[in-house]
Chains A and B, each alone.
Chain A
Amino acid sequence: MGTASSTLTQYDIEDVQEHCNNLFSQQEIVSLYKRFCQLDRSAKGFISADEFLSVPEFAMNPLSQRLLKMVDGLNFKDFVIFLSAFNPKASTPQKIELIFKVYDSDYNGKVSFQDIMEVLRDLSGSFMSDKQIEEVLIKVLEEAGYSKDSSLLLGDFVKILDHPGLKMEVEVPVD
Protein backbone atom coordinates (compact mmCIF):
# COMPACT_ATOMS: atom_id res chain seq x y z
CA MET A 1 0.00 0.00 0.00
CA GLY A 2 2.94 2.27 -0.71
CA THR A 3 1.23 4.24 -3.43
CA ALA A 4 -2.33 5.42 -3.07
CA SER A 5 -4.84 3.04 -4.43
CA SER A 6 -8.40 4.12 -4.40
CA THR A 7 -9.49 0.96 -2.70
CA LEU A 8 -8.43 -0.25 0.67
CA THR A 9 -8.43 -4.01 0.97
CA GLN A 10 -9.35 -5.92 4.10
CA TYR A 11 -5.75 -7.01 4.27
CA ASP A 12 -4.58 -3.41 4.27
CA ILE A 13 -7.05 -2.49 7.00
CA GLU A 14 -5.87 -5.30 9.21
CA ASP A 15 -2.25 -4.46 8.53
CA VAL A 16 -2.75 -0.84 9.54
CA GLN A 17 -4.79 -1.88 12.54
CA GLU A 18 -1.97 -4.09 13.72
CA HIS A 19 0.56 -1.32 13.34
CA CYS A 20 -1.38 1.05 15.51
CA ASN A 21 -1.85 -1.64 18.13
CA ASN A 22 -5.56 -1.99 17.46
CA LEU A 23 -6.28 1.47 18.79
CA PHE A 24 -8.52 2.25 15.83
CA SER A 25 -11.49 0.16 14.81
CA GLN A 26 -11.74 -1.03 11.22
CA GLN A 27 -14.51 1.47 10.60
CA GLU A 28 -12.32 4.29 11.85
CA ILE A 29 -9.47 3.18 9.60
CA VAL A 30 -11.79 3.23 6.60
CA SER A 31 -12.94 6.68 7.63
CA LEU A 32 -9.35 7.85 8.02
CA TYR A 33 -8.57 6.49 4.59
CA LYS A 34 -11.40 8.51 3.08
CA ARG A 35 -10.02 11.58 4.80
CA PHE A 36 -6.49 10.75 3.64
CA CYS A 37 -7.66 10.50 0.04
CA GLN A 38 -9.62 13.71 0.40
CA LEU A 39 -6.48 15.54 1.55
CA ASP A 40 -4.14 13.81 -0.91
CA ARG A 41 -5.79 15.50 -3.86
CA SER A 42 -3.28 14.43 -6.44
CA ALA A 43 -3.36 10.80 -5.29
CA LYS A 44 0.36 10.60 -4.69
CA GLY A 45 0.17 8.23 -1.73
CA PHE A 46 1.13 10.90 0.75
CA ILE A 47 -0.17 14.28 1.82
CA SER A 48 2.06 17.25 1.09
CA ALA A 49 2.55 20.21 3.41
CA ASP A 50 0.53 22.39 1.08
CA GLU A 51 -2.38 19.99 1.21
CA PHE A 52 -2.33 19.98 5.01
CA LEU A 53 -2.31 23.76 4.98
CA SER A 54 -5.42 23.79 2.82
CA VAL A 55 -7.37 22.83 5.94
CA PRO A 56 -8.05 26.27 7.43
CA GLU A 57 -8.28 25.00 10.99
CA PHE A 58 -4.86 23.41 10.64
CA ALA A 59 -3.28 26.42 8.95
CA MET A 60 -4.27 28.71 11.78
CA ASN A 61 -2.84 26.46 14.48
CA PRO A 62 0.22 28.05 16.10
CA LEU A 63 2.11 24.75 15.98
CA SER A 64 1.26 23.99 12.36
CA GLN A 65 4.81 24.41 11.09
CA ARG A 66 6.29 22.07 13.69
CA LEU A 67 3.60 19.50 13.04
CA LEU A 68 4.07 19.78 9.31
CA LYS A 69 7.63 18.57 9.75
CA MET A 70 6.24 15.45 11.37
CA VAL A 71 3.37 14.73 8.99
CA ASP A 72 4.63 15.98 5.65
CA GLY A 73 4.99 13.08 3.25
CA LEU A 74 3.55 10.38 5.48
CA ASN A 75 1.94 7.44 3.72
CA PHE A 76 -1.38 6.19 4.99
CA LYS A 77 -0.01 3.68 7.47
CA ASP A 78 2.27 6.22 9.12
CA PHE A 79 -0.54 8.78 9.01
CA VAL A 80 -2.69 6.46 11.08
CA ILE A 81 0.17 5.67 13.45
CA PHE A 82 0.73 9.41 13.96
CA LEU A 83 -2.95 9.95 14.69
CA SER A 84 -3.14 7.01 17.06
CA ALA A 85 -1.67 9.19 19.80
CA PHE A 86 -4.95 11.13 19.70
CA ASN A 87 -7.04 8.04 20.20
CA PRO A 88 -8.90 8.06 23.54
CA LYS A 89 -7.57 4.54 24.17
CA ALA A 90 -3.95 5.55 23.70
CA SER A 91 -1.88 5.47 26.86
CA THR A 92 -0.76 8.69 28.51
CA PRO A 93 2.93 7.87 27.89
CA GLN A 94 2.12 7.49 24.18
CA LYS A 95 0.51 10.90 24.14
CA ILE A 96 3.41 12.41 26.03
CA GLU A 97 5.75 10.86 23.49
CA LEU A 98 4.02 12.78 20.72
CA ILE A 99 4.33 15.97 22.72
CA PHE A 100 8.01 15.23 23.28
CA LYS A 101 8.55 14.71 19.55
CA VAL A 102 6.97 18.09 18.80
CA TYR A 103 9.53 19.75 21.05
CA ASP A 104 12.48 17.61 19.97
CA SER A 105 12.64 19.00 16.44
CA ASP A 106 16.11 17.63 15.69
CA TYR A 107 15.14 14.17 16.91
CA ASN A 108 18.16 13.77 19.12
CA GLY A 109 16.12 12.46 22.02
CA LYS A 110 16.78 15.55 24.11
CA VAL A 111 14.73 18.69 24.58
CA SER A 112 16.88 21.68 25.33
CA PHE A 113 16.05 25.08 26.75
CA GLN A 114 16.16 26.44 23.22
CA ASP A 115 13.70 23.84 21.96
CA ILE A 116 11.19 24.84 24.63
CA MET A 117 11.79 28.52 23.88
CA GLU A 118 10.98 27.92 20.22
CA VAL A 119 7.71 26.19 20.98
CA LEU A 120 6.74 28.95 23.40
CA ARG A 121 7.54 31.50 20.72
CA ASP A 122 5.20 29.70 18.31
CA LEU A 123 2.47 29.62 20.94
CA SER A 124 2.71 33.22 22.06
CA GLY A 125 3.60 34.89 18.76
CA SER A 126 4.30 38.57 19.06
CA PHE A 127 2.54 38.84 22.38
CA MET A 128 5.48 37.85 24.52
CA SER A 129 9.04 39.06 24.10
CA ASP A 130 11.92 36.60 24.11
CA LYS A 131 13.03 38.08 27.39
CA GLN A 132 9.63 37.46 28.96
CA ILE A 133 9.57 33.88 27.70
CA GLU A 134 13.07 33.25 29.00
CA GLU A 135 12.24 34.67 32.42
CA VAL A 136 9.11 32.60 32.80
CA LEU A 137 10.79 29.46 31.58
CA ILE A 138 13.81 29.77 33.87
CA LYS A 139 11.52 30.41 36.81
CA VAL A 140 9.31 27.37 36.33
CA LEU A 141 12.26 25.14 35.42
CA GLU A 142 14.05 26.00 38.60
CA GLU A 143 10.95 25.49 40.67
CA ALA A 144 10.69 22.01 39.18
CA GLY A 145 14.30 21.25 39.94
CA TYR A 146 15.83 21.79 36.52
CA SER A 147 18.18 24.44 35.28
CA LYS A 148 18.55 26.40 32.08
CA ASP A 149 21.24 24.01 30.90
CA SER A 150 19.24 20.86 31.58
CA SER A 151 18.27 18.70 28.67
CA LEU A 152 14.98 16.98 29.21
CA LEU A 153 14.59 13.40 28.12
CA LEU A 154 11.37 11.55 27.38
CA GLY A 155 11.42 10.18 30.90
CA ASP A 156 11.49 13.72 32.31
CA PHE A 157 8.56 14.68 30.13
CA VAL A 158 6.59 11.71 31.36
CA LYS A 159 7.37 12.64 34.94
CA ILE A 160 6.36 16.26 34.42
CA LEU A 161 3.29 15.79 32.27
CA ASP A 162 1.78 12.55 33.46
CA HIS A 163 -1.30 13.52 35.38
CA PRO A 164 -4.94 12.54 35.03
CA GLY A 165 -5.89 15.89 33.60
CA LEU A 166 -3.86 15.38 30.43
CA LYS A 167 -6.35 15.00 27.64
CA MET A 168 -5.47 14.79 23.99
CA GLU A 169 -8.36 13.08 22.33
CA VAL A 170 -9.81 13.38 18.88
CA GLU A 171 -12.76 11.33 17.74
CA VAL A 172 -12.56 10.09 14.19
CA PRO A 173 -15.86 10.89 12.46
CA VAL A 174 -17.43 7.69 11.20
CA ASP A 175 -20.25 8.08 8.70
Chain B
Amino acid sequence: MSKLKSSDMELDFDRPNIEDYLSTDSIQEPSGKLRLRDLLDISPTLTEAGGAIVDASILSLSGDSFTRCFKSNPPEPWNWNVYLFPLWCLGVVVRYGILFPVRVLILTLGWMIFLSCYIPVHLLLKGHDKLRKKLERGLVELLCSFFVASWTGVVKYHGPRPSARPKQVFVANHTSMIDFIILEQMTAFAVIMQKHPGWVGLVQSTILESVGCIWFNRSEAKDREVVARKLREHVEGPDNNPLLIFPEGTCVNNHYTVMFKKGVFELGSTICPIAIKYNKIFVDAFWNSKKQSFTTHLLQLMTSWAVVCDVWYLEPQNMKPGETPIEFAERVREIISARAGIKKVPWDGYLKYSRPSPIHRERKQQAFAESVLRRLEDK
Protein backbone atom coordinates (compact mmCIF):
# COMPACT_ATOMS: atom_id res chain seq x y z
CA MET B 1 0.00 0.00 0.00
CA SER B 2 1.59 3.27 -1.03
CA LYS B 3 2.47 5.68 1.73
CA LEU B 4 0.55 8.88 1.98
CA LYS B 5 2.60 11.41 0.03
CA SER B 6 2.49 15.04 0.97
CA SER B 7 1.03 15.74 -2.46
CA ASP B 8 -2.08 13.75 -1.53
CA MET B 9 -2.85 16.22 1.21
CA GLU B 10 -3.71 18.86 -1.35
CA LEU B 11 -6.72 16.76 -2.24
CA ASP B 12 -8.67 17.67 0.82
CA PHE B 13 -9.07 21.38 0.46
CA ASP B 14 -11.67 20.42 -2.12
CA ARG B 15 -14.17 19.03 0.22
CA PRO B 16 -16.62 20.71 2.53
CA ASN B 17 -16.37 20.27 6.25
CA ILE B 18 -16.75 16.53 6.77
CA GLU B 19 -17.49 17.17 10.42
CA ASP B 20 -20.79 18.64 9.27
CA TYR B 21 -21.74 15.19 8.15
CA LEU B 22 -20.15 13.09 10.81
CA SER B 23 -22.51 12.75 13.69
CA THR B 24 -21.34 14.38 16.84
CA ASP B 25 -24.53 13.32 18.55
CA SER B 26 -22.95 10.05 19.54
CA ILE B 27 -20.38 11.98 21.54
CA GLN B 28 -22.27 14.03 24.06
CA GLU B 29 -20.77 17.47 24.53
CA PRO B 30 -19.44 17.15 28.03
CA SER B 31 -19.77 19.97 30.46
CA GLY B 32 -19.14 20.71 34.05
CA LYS B 33 -16.01 20.50 36.08
CA LEU B 34 -13.24 18.37 34.66
CA ARG B 35 -12.58 15.27 36.71
CA LEU B 36 -10.10 12.44 36.42
CA ARG B 37 -12.86 10.23 35.11
CA ASP B 38 -13.51 12.59 32.21
CA LEU B 39 -9.89 12.70 31.24
CA LEU B 40 -9.39 8.94 31.38
CA ASP B 41 -12.64 7.98 29.69
CA ILE B 42 -11.68 7.23 26.11
CA SER B 43 -14.80 5.19 25.46
CA PRO B 44 -16.24 7.50 22.76
CA THR B 45 -13.06 7.36 20.71
CA LEU B 46 -12.78 3.61 21.20
CA THR B 47 -16.41 3.19 20.18
CA GLU B 48 -15.69 4.98 16.91
CA ALA B 49 -12.70 2.74 16.28
CA GLY B 50 -14.71 -0.37 17.09
CA GLY B 51 -17.48 0.78 14.81
CA ALA B 52 -14.97 1.33 12.03
CA ILE B 53 -13.54 -2.16 12.45
CA VAL B 54 -16.91 -3.90 12.20
CA ASP B 55 -18.27 -1.45 9.62
CA ALA B 56 -21.19 -0.45 11.84
CA SER B 57 -23.67 2.14 10.68
CA ILE B 58 -23.14 4.60 13.49
CA LEU B 59 -20.37 6.44 11.80
CA SER B 60 -22.11 9.03 9.71
CA LEU B 61 -25.44 10.72 9.51
CA SER B 62 -26.21 8.91 6.31
CA GLY B 63 -25.44 5.66 8.09
CA ASP B 64 -23.15 4.26 5.45
CA SER B 65 -19.46 3.76 5.64
CA PHE B 66 -16.97 4.42 2.92
CA THR B 67 -16.43 0.82 1.85
CA ARG B 68 -20.13 0.27 1.20
CA CYS B 69 -19.97 2.61 -1.78
CA PHE B 70 -17.65 0.26 -3.58
CA LYS B 71 -19.16 -3.06 -2.61
CA SER B 72 -20.69 -5.05 -5.40
CA ASN B 73 -23.58 -6.88 -3.82
CA PRO B 74 -24.11 -10.09 -5.74
CA PRO B 75 -27.78 -10.89 -6.05
CA GLU B 76 -29.19 -13.76 -4.02
CA PRO B 77 -28.66 -17.01 -5.90
CA TRP B 78 -32.01 -18.00 -7.28
CA ASN B 79 -31.04 -21.21 -9.03
CA TRP B 80 -30.84 -23.34 -5.94
CA ASN B 81 -33.59 -25.83 -6.50
CA VAL B 82 -34.26 -28.67 -8.91
CA TYR B 83 -36.66 -26.68 -11.12
CA LEU B 84 -34.73 -23.46 -11.34
CA PHE B 85 -31.28 -24.92 -11.78
CA PRO B 86 -31.90 -26.46 -15.24
CA LEU B 87 -33.50 -23.19 -16.27
CA TRP B 88 -30.44 -21.34 -15.15
CA CYS B 89 -28.23 -23.78 -17.04
CA LEU B 90 -30.30 -23.18 -20.14
CA GLY B 91 -29.85 -19.48 -19.57
CA VAL B 92 -26.09 -19.91 -19.37
CA VAL B 93 -26.07 -21.85 -22.61
CA VAL B 94 -28.11 -19.18 -24.34
CA ARG B 95 -26.02 -16.35 -22.96
CA TYR B 96 -22.60 -17.80 -23.64
CA GLY B 97 -23.42 -19.92 -26.65
CA ILE B 98 -25.84 -17.78 -28.61
CA LEU B 99 -25.92 -14.21 -27.36
CA PHE B 100 -22.21 -13.82 -26.80
CA PRO B 101 -21.04 -14.88 -30.29
CA VAL B 102 -23.75 -12.74 -31.88
CA ARG B 103 -22.67 -9.78 -29.83
CA VAL B 104 -19.02 -10.30 -30.64
CA LEU B 105 -20.04 -10.31 -34.29
CA ILE B 106 -21.99 -7.10 -33.90
CA LEU B 107 -19.11 -5.42 -32.13
CA THR B 108 -16.59 -6.58 -34.72
CA LEU B 109 -18.87 -5.35 -37.47
CA GLY B 110 -19.20 -2.04 -35.71
CA TRP B 111 -15.44 -1.63 -35.41
CA MET B 112 -14.92 -2.57 -39.04
CA ILE B 113 -17.43 -0.04 -40.27
CA PHE B 114 -16.06 2.57 -37.92
CA LEU B 115 -12.42 2.12 -38.84
CA SER B 116 -13.11 1.90 -42.54
CA CYS B 117 -14.86 5.24 -42.41
CA TYR B 118 -12.90 6.97 -39.71
CA ILE B 119 -9.40 6.44 -41.04
CA PRO B 120 -10.13 7.81 -44.51
CA VAL B 121 -12.07 10.74 -43.07
CA HIS B 122 -9.34 11.51 -40.60
CA LEU B 123 -6.57 11.42 -43.20
CA LEU B 124 -8.25 12.79 -46.27
CA LEU B 125 -10.21 15.64 -44.82
CA LYS B 126 -7.26 17.14 -42.98
CA GLY B 127 -7.90 20.50 -44.52
CA HIS B 128 -11.63 20.67 -43.96
CA ASP B 129 -11.72 20.68 -40.20
CA LYS B 130 -15.35 21.52 -39.66
CA LEU B 131 -16.62 18.78 -41.95
CA ARG B 132 -14.08 16.32 -40.65
CA LYS B 133 -15.04 16.95 -37.06
CA LYS B 134 -18.70 16.58 -37.88
CA LEU B 135 -18.17 13.24 -39.57
CA GLU B 136 -15.86 11.98 -36.84
CA ARG B 137 -18.41 12.94 -34.22
CA GLY B 138 -21.09 11.00 -36.05
CA LEU B 139 -18.80 8.00 -36.43
CA VAL B 140 -17.94 7.95 -32.73
CA GLU B 141 -21.64 8.09 -31.89
CA LEU B 142 -22.17 5.20 -34.27
CA LEU B 143 -19.40 3.14 -32.70
CA CYS B 144 -20.86 3.74 -29.27
CA SER B 145 -24.24 2.55 -30.50
CA PHE B 146 -22.59 -0.66 -31.64
CA PHE B 147 -21.03 -1.06 -28.22
CA VAL B 148 -24.35 -0.53 -26.52
CA ALA B 149 -25.94 -3.06 -28.87
CA SER B 150 -23.23 -5.54 -28.00
CA TRP B 151 -24.50 -5.68 -24.46
CA THR B 152 -28.12 -5.45 -25.54
CA GLY B 153 -28.25 -2.10 -23.88
CA VAL B 154 -31.74 -0.93 -23.23
CA VAL B 155 -31.36 2.72 -22.40
CA LYS B 156 -34.29 4.93 -21.70
CA TYR B 157 -33.46 8.57 -22.11
CA HIS B 158 -35.65 10.98 -20.22
CA GLY B 159 -35.98 14.68 -20.38
CA PRO B 160 -35.17 17.16 -23.08
CA ARG B 161 -31.54 17.25 -23.99
CA PRO B 162 -30.29 20.77 -23.35
CA SER B 163 -29.54 22.52 -26.59
CA ALA B 164 -25.93 23.20 -27.31
CA ARG B 165 -24.96 26.49 -25.82
CA PRO B 166 -21.58 27.95 -25.09
CA LYS B 167 -20.04 27.55 -21.64
CA GLN B 168 -22.03 24.46 -20.86
CA VAL B 169 -20.71 21.46 -18.98
CA PHE B 170 -22.51 18.17 -18.43
CA VAL B 171 -22.03 16.26 -15.19
CA ALA B 172 -23.17 12.77 -14.33
CA ASN B 173 -22.80 10.18 -11.61
CA HIS B 174 -20.29 7.47 -12.40
CA THR B 175 -20.65 3.72 -12.21
CA SER B 176 -18.45 2.40 -14.98
CA MET B 177 -16.70 3.57 -18.11
CA ILE B 178 -19.77 2.39 -19.98
CA ASP B 179 -21.54 5.49 -18.63
CA PHE B 180 -19.48 7.40 -21.12
CA ILE B 181 -20.38 5.07 -23.98
CA ILE B 182 -24.07 5.18 -23.18
CA LEU B 183 -24.10 8.96 -23.14
CA GLU B 184 -21.78 9.27 -26.10
CA GLN B 185 -24.07 7.34 -28.41
CA MET B 186 -26.58 10.17 -28.10
CA THR B 187 -24.24 13.13 -28.16
CA ALA B 188 -20.56 13.24 -28.93
CA PHE B 189 -19.25 14.68 -25.71
CA ALA B 190 -15.71 15.59 -24.96
CA VAL B 191 -14.52 13.99 -21.78
CA ILE B 192 -11.97 14.28 -19.12
CA MET B 193 -10.57 10.89 -18.20
CA GLN B 194 -7.90 9.11 -16.30
CA LYS B 195 -5.37 7.75 -18.77
CA HIS B 196 -5.62 3.97 -18.85
CA PRO B 197 -3.08 1.40 -19.98
CA GLY B 198 -3.60 -1.17 -22.70
CA TRP B 199 -6.06 -1.03 -25.55
CA VAL B 200 -8.26 1.41 -23.70
CA GLY B 201 -5.38 3.86 -23.60
CA LEU B 202 -4.87 3.37 -27.30
CA VAL B 203 -8.49 4.16 -28.01
CA GLN B 204 -8.22 7.16 -25.72
CA SER B 205 -5.22 8.61 -27.51
CA THR B 206 -6.51 8.10 -31.02
CA ILE B 207 -10.25 8.10 -31.42
CA LEU B 208 -11.28 10.06 -28.38
CA GLU B 209 -8.79 12.76 -29.26
CA SER B 210 -11.05 13.64 -32.12
CA VAL B 211 -14.03 14.40 -29.93
CA GLY B 212 -11.78 16.31 -27.59
CA CYS B 213 -10.49 14.75 -24.45
CA ILE B 214 -8.57 16.01 -21.50
CA TRP B 215 -6.30 13.61 -19.68
CA PHE B 216 -5.42 13.65 -16.06
CA ASN B 217 -3.37 11.56 -13.73
CA ARG B 218 -4.89 11.01 -10.34
CA SER B 219 -1.59 10.53 -8.61
CA GLU B 220 -0.13 13.84 -9.74
CA ALA B 221 -1.07 16.70 -7.50
CA LYS B 222 0.40 19.39 -9.77
CA ASP B 223 -1.71 17.86 -12.50
CA ARG B 224 -4.76 19.54 -11.00
CA GLU B 225 -3.72 23.05 -12.01
CA VAL B 226 -2.91 21.90 -15.51
CA VAL B 227 -6.23 20.13 -15.81
CA ALA B 228 -8.15 23.11 -14.44
CA ARG B 229 -6.57 25.28 -17.09
CA LYS B 230 -7.37 22.81 -19.87
CA LEU B 231 -10.96 22.63 -18.65
CA ARG B 232 -11.33 26.37 -18.79
CA GLU B 233 -9.83 26.54 -22.26
CA HIS B 234 -12.11 23.82 -23.55
CA VAL B 235 -15.28 25.29 -22.16
CA GLU B 236 -14.51 28.67 -23.63
CA GLY B 237 -13.74 27.35 -27.11
CA PRO B 238 -16.89 27.70 -29.21
CA ASP B 239 -16.19 24.82 -31.58
CA ASN B 240 -15.44 22.27 -28.95
CA ASN B 241 -17.81 19.45 -28.20
CA PRO B 242 -19.79 19.84 -25.00
CA LEU B 243 -17.79 18.61 -22.06
CA LEU B 244 -18.93 15.65 -19.99
CA ILE B 245 -17.50 15.28 -16.53
CA PHE B 246 -17.94 12.71 -13.78
CA PRO B 247 -17.25 14.84 -10.71
CA GLU B 248 -17.07 11.90 -8.32
CA GLY B 249 -13.66 11.18 -9.75
CA THR B 250 -14.09 7.43 -9.52
CA CYS B 251 -16.57 4.63 -10.19
CA VAL B 252 -19.14 4.07 -7.46
CA ASN B 253 -21.53 1.15 -7.19
CA ASN B 254 -24.69 3.01 -8.30
CA HIS B 255 -26.28 2.81 -4.84
CA TYR B 256 -24.49 5.90 -3.59
CA THR B 257 -22.90 9.09 -4.78
CA VAL B 258 -19.66 10.22 -3.23
CA MET B 259 -18.69 13.84 -2.98
CA PHE B 260 -18.30 15.84 -6.14
CA LYS B 261 -14.97 17.49 -6.85
CA LYS B 262 -15.49 21.21 -7.04
CA GLY B 263 -13.17 21.85 -10.02
CA VAL B 264 -15.79 22.05 -12.73
CA PHE B 265 -18.16 24.05 -10.56
CA GLU B 266 -15.70 26.90 -10.34
CA LEU B 267 -15.61 27.57 -14.06
CA GLY B 268 -18.64 29.80 -14.09
CA SER B 269 -20.36 27.66 -16.70
CA THR B 270 -23.88 26.34 -16.78
CA ILE B 271 -23.98 22.85 -15.35
CA CYS B 272 -26.34 20.34 -16.97
CA PRO B 273 -26.82 17.41 -14.59
CA ILE B 274 -27.38 13.91 -15.92
CA ALA B 275 -28.50 11.08 -13.67
CA ILE B 276 -27.83 7.45 -14.59
CA LYS B 277 -29.35 4.47 -12.84
CA TYR B 278 -28.76 0.89 -13.87
CA ASN B 279 -31.31 -1.82 -13.29
CA LYS B 280 -29.49 -4.48 -11.33
CA ILE B 281 -31.97 -7.23 -12.15
CA PHE B 282 -30.26 -7.68 -15.48
CA VAL B 283 -26.66 -7.05 -14.61
CA ASP B 284 -24.59 -5.20 -12.07
CA ALA B 285 -22.96 -2.55 -14.18
CA PHE B 286 -20.59 -1.37 -11.47
CA TRP B 287 -17.00 -1.54 -12.68
CA ASN B 288 -14.84 -2.32 -9.70
CA SER B 289 -11.57 -1.23 -11.30
CA LYS B 290 -9.62 -2.68 -8.42
CA LYS B 291 -11.07 -6.11 -9.00
CA GLN B 292 -11.34 -6.44 -12.77
CA SER B 293 -9.89 -4.97 -15.91
CA PHE B 294 -12.12 -3.12 -18.31
CA THR B 295 -11.88 -6.00 -20.76
CA THR B 296 -13.15 -8.45 -18.16
CA HIS B 297 -15.88 -5.99 -17.28
CA LEU B 298 -17.00 -5.73 -20.90
CA LEU B 299 -16.96 -9.49 -21.30
CA GLN B 300 -19.09 -9.82 -18.22
CA LEU B 301 -21.60 -7.39 -19.72
CA MET B 302 -21.56 -9.21 -23.03
CA THR B 303 -22.47 -12.51 -21.38
CA SER B 304 -25.37 -11.06 -19.42
CA TRP B 305 -28.91 -10.75 -20.61
CA ALA B 306 -29.00 -7.01 -20.98
CA VAL B 307 -27.82 -3.72 -19.60
CA VAL B 308 -30.88 -1.79 -18.68
CA CYS B 309 -30.62 1.74 -17.47
CA ASP B 310 -32.34 5.06 -17.24
CA VAL B 311 -30.69 8.30 -18.20
CA TRP B 312 -32.26 11.53 -17.09
CA TYR B 313 -31.19 14.83 -18.58
CA LEU B 314 -31.95 17.34 -15.85
CA GLU B 315 -32.51 21.05 -15.82
CA PRO B 316 -29.38 23.13 -16.33
CA GLN B 317 -28.15 24.84 -13.19
CA ASN B 318 -26.19 27.96 -12.58
CA MET B 319 -24.35 28.96 -9.49
CA LYS B 320 -26.62 31.00 -7.29
CA PRO B 321 -25.43 34.37 -6.00
CA GLY B 322 -23.63 33.89 -2.72
CA GLU B 323 -23.17 30.17 -3.30
CA THR B 324 -19.68 28.72 -3.03
CA PRO B 325 -18.49 26.22 -5.66
CA ILE B 326 -18.62 23.46 -3.06
CA GLU B 327 -22.21 24.28 -2.16
CA PHE B 328 -23.06 24.39 -5.85
CA ALA B 329 -21.45 20.99 -6.36
CA GLU B 330 -23.38 19.51 -3.47
CA ARG B 331 -26.63 21.01 -4.72
CA VAL B 332 -26.14 19.43 -8.13
CA ARG B 333 -25.22 16.14 -6.47
CA GLU B 334 -28.48 16.32 -4.54
CA ILE B 335 -30.42 16.84 -7.77
CA ILE B 336 -28.75 13.88 -9.45
CA SER B 337 -29.01 11.57 -6.43
CA ALA B 338 -32.67 12.40 -5.92
CA ARG B 339 -33.51 11.73 -9.56
CA ALA B 340 -31.63 8.45 -9.69
CA GLY B 341 -32.95 7.40 -6.31
CA ILE B 342 -29.54 6.80 -4.77
CA LYS B 343 -28.03 7.86 -1.49
CA LYS B 344 -25.48 10.56 -0.91
CA VAL B 345 -22.52 9.90 1.33
CA PRO B 346 -19.96 12.40 2.61
CA TRP B 347 -16.91 10.53 1.43
CA ASP B 348 -14.28 11.61 -1.03
CA GLY B 349 -13.94 9.09 -3.85
CA TYR B 350 -10.20 9.52 -3.83
CA LEU B 351 -10.05 7.73 -0.48
CA LYS B 352 -10.17 4.66 -2.70
CA TYR B 353 -6.66 5.49 -3.78
CA SER B 354 -5.04 7.22 -0.85
CA ARG B 355 -5.25 7.43 2.92
CA PRO B 356 -7.42 10.04 4.58
CA SER B 357 -5.49 13.18 5.29
CA PRO B 358 -4.49 14.14 8.83
CA ILE B 359 -7.07 16.92 8.76
CA HIS B 360 -9.86 14.62 9.97
CA ARG B 361 -7.87 13.40 12.90
CA GLU B 362 -6.77 16.93 13.65
CA ARG B 363 -10.35 18.13 13.81
CA LYS B 364 -11.16 15.46 16.39
CA GLN B 365 -8.05 16.36 18.36
CA GLN B 366 -8.92 20.00 18.27
CA ALA B 367 -12.43 19.30 19.54
CA PHE B 368 -11.02 17.24 22.40
CA ALA B 369 -8.41 19.82 23.37
CA GLU B 370 -10.89 22.66 23.33
CA SER B 371 -13.33 20.70 25.44
CA VAL B 372 -10.71 19.90 28.08
CA LEU B 373 -9.37 23.43 28.25
CA ARG B 374 -12.84 24.89 28.42
CA ARG B 375 -13.91 22.63 31.23
CA LEU B 376 -10.76 23.46 33.09
CA GLU B 377 -12.08 26.99 33.34
CA ASP B 378 -15.40 25.82 34.76
CA LYS B 379 -15.28 25.78 38.49
Residues of A within 8 A of B (CB): 32, 35, 38-39, 50, 52-64, 67, 71, 83, 86, 95, 98-99, 102-103, 116, 119-120, 123-128, 132, 136-137, 139-141, 143-144, 146, 157, 160-161, 163, 166-173
Contacts and interface: CB of A to CB of B under 8 A. Distances in A.
Given A59-B356, A161-B37, A123 B45 contact: yes
Contacts of B82: none
Nearest to B347: A56
Contacts of B39: 116, 120, 136-137, 140
Nearest to B48: A61
Contact of A171 (B58, B355, B366, B376): B58
Contacts of A146: 36
Interface string B346-379: 0100010001100011101110111011001000
Contacts of A128: 369, 372-373
A170 B56 contact: yes
B347 to A, nearest CB: 7
Given A61-B361, A172-B56, A125 B45 contact: no
Contact of B37 (A59, A83, A163, A169): A163
Contact of B51 (A38, A124, A170): A170
Given A63-B42, A128-B369, A143-B36, 11 more contacts: A32-B54, A39-B53, A55-B65, A60-B356, A61-B361, A86-B50, A99-B42, A136-B39, A161-B40, A168-B43, A172-B54
B298 interface: no
17 contacts: A39-B53, A57-B59, A61-B49, A62-B364, A64-B49, A83-B53, A86-B54, A102-B46, A123-B45, A124-B369, A127-B362, A127-B368, A167-B47, A170-B56, A171-B58, A173-B56, A173-B57
A52 B49 CA distance: 10
B365 A62 contact: yes
A175 B16 CA distance: 32
B233 interface: no
B123 interface: no
A144 B372 contact: no
B52 A55 contact: yes
A127 B45 contact: no
A interface: dominant SS: helix
A173 B55 contact: yes
Contact of A127 (B52, B57, B347, B369): B369
Given A63-B45, A127-B366, A57 B65 contact: yes
A63 B1 contact: no
Nearest 3 pairs of A and B residues by beta carbon: A125-B365, A127-B369, A57-B52
Contacts of A168: 43, 46-47, 50
B155 to A, nearest CB: 32
Interface string B102-135: 0000000000000000000000000000000000
Given A123-B365, A167-B43, A171-B58, A136 B37 contact: no
Contacts of B1: 50, 53-54
A56 B47 CA distance: 15
Contact of A95 (B43, B360, B366): B43
B361 A60 contact: yes
Interface in B35-82: 35-43, 45-59, 65-67
Count chain A CB atoms within 10 A of each CB in B37, B48, B355 and give the residue with the most: B37
A161 B45 CA distance: 15
B92 interface: no
Contact of B53 (A71, A139, A161, A169): A71
